[in-house]
């Protein structure tokens, strides 16, 4: 039975799952909700996501939501079934390092990146507001600190734990949007190790294709 993913292609959370699915070679169908408003319908909340969010994944009769949880589930069940891509190593120590960088992403990296994206791309389009310069200034300040640490952590490595992993995937959707804003791409470009890491990710076939579909 084909996996069904409910979500909007423009959603960074949905894109996170799509990249994971593509990397693992898992067949899937993307089913967009009827509208953003439909996410608050009683049926959607009762049968898909209790907080009215996306994405939601159905694997047969099994339902799971929240993009990071979905990706971990997919790795646990399907890693090695369709191709040889390893996103979480079997080695307990290497797996621990993947989880460590996943935690860095959710605790330190995601927030300032999301603030930049929300101010520069979402404020005017969805809320009819101009970006708040003070919010952007604070977000850049915080992201600068995070990327200074990443620059050291990435020294001598192509990916966060040395080899490509789920941790790298989790960084992709938000970075793709923030980096695409010319006035903020310097945050990555000014750090050679960070820049090399991002280039490596963008040059992966599955990620490149996912970004192209996202823009479409």
At 168-193, the pLDDT tens digits run: 999 999 999 999 987 899 999 999 99
Residues 129 and 156 in one domain: yes
**Average per-residue pLDDT in the chain?**
94
| pLDDT score recorded for residue 125 | 67
List own/partner pairs for 196-204 with CB under 8 A and 24 or more apart: 196/154, 196/158, 197/150, 197/154, 197/157, 197/158, 197/159, 197/160, 197/168, 200/158, 200/159, 201/159, 201/168, 201/171, 201/172, 201/175, 204/164
Q: How far apart are CA 158 and CA 161, in angstroms?
A: 8
Could you tell me the CATH number of the domain that includes residue 28? 3.40.30.10
Write the pLDDT tens digit of every residue in 76-117: 999 999 999 999 999 999 999 999 999 999 999 999 999 999
Measured between alpha carbons, how far apart are the two ends of the chain, in Å? 27
pLDDT at residue 43 is higher than 60: yes
pLDDT at residue 7 is higher than 60: yes
Segment 49-66 shows an average pLDDT of 97
Domain count along the chain: 2
Cis check for the bond before 55: say yes or no (omega within 30 of 0): yes
Segment 68-83 shows an average pLDDT of 98
Residues 105 and 180 in one domain: yes
Structural domain span for residue 141: 92-210
Residues 42 and 121 in one domain: no
Residues 172 and 105 in one domain: yes
pLDDT at residue 1 is higher than 80: no
Could you tell me the CATH number of the domain that includes residue 117? 1.20.1050.10
Last residue in a domain, options 78, 113, 130: 78
State the pTM of this model: 0.94
Segment 145-162 shows an average pLDDT of 98
Sheet holding 3-6, edge to edge: 28-31, 3-6, 56-59, 62-65
Write the pLDDT tens digit of every residue in 120-131: 887 666 667 788
pLDDT at residue 49 is higher than 90: yes
Residues 110 and 206 in one domain: yes
Domain presence at residue 216: no
| pLDDT score recorded for residue 121 | 82
Cβ atoms of residues 13 and 54 within 8 Å: yes
| pLDDT score recorded for residue 10 | 86
Pairing state between β 28-31 and 3-6:
parallel
| pLDDT score recorded for residue 170 | 98
pLDDT at residue 216 is higher than 60: no
């Amino acid at each position: 039975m084909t996996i069904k993913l409910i979500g909007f292609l423009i959603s960074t959370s949905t894109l996170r799952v799509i990249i994971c699915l593509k990397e693992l070679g898992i067949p899937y169908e993307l089913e967009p909700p009827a509208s953003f408003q439909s996410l608050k319908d009683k049926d959607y909340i009762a049968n898909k996501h209790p907080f009215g969010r996306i994405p939601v994944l159905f694997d047969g009769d099994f339902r799971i939501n929240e993009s990071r949880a979905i990706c971990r589930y997919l790795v646990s069940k399907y890693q090695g079934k369709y191709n040889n891509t390893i996103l979480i190593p079997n080695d307990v120590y290497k797996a621990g390092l993947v989880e460590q960088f996943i935690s860095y992403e959710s605790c330190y990296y995601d927030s300032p990146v999301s603030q930049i994206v929300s101010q520069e791309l979402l404020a005017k389009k969805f809320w009819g507001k101009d970006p708040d310069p003070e919010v952007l200034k604070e977000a850049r300040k915080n992201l600068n600190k995070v990327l200074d640490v990443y620059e050291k952590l990435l020294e001598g490595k192509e990916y966060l734990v040395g080899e490509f992993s789920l941790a790298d995937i989790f960084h992709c959707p938000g970075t793709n949007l923030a980096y695409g804003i010319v006035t903020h791409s310097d945050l990555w470009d000014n750090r050679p190790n960070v820049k090399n890491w991002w280039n490596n990710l963008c040059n992966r076939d599955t990620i490149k294709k996912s970004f192209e579909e996202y823009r479409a």
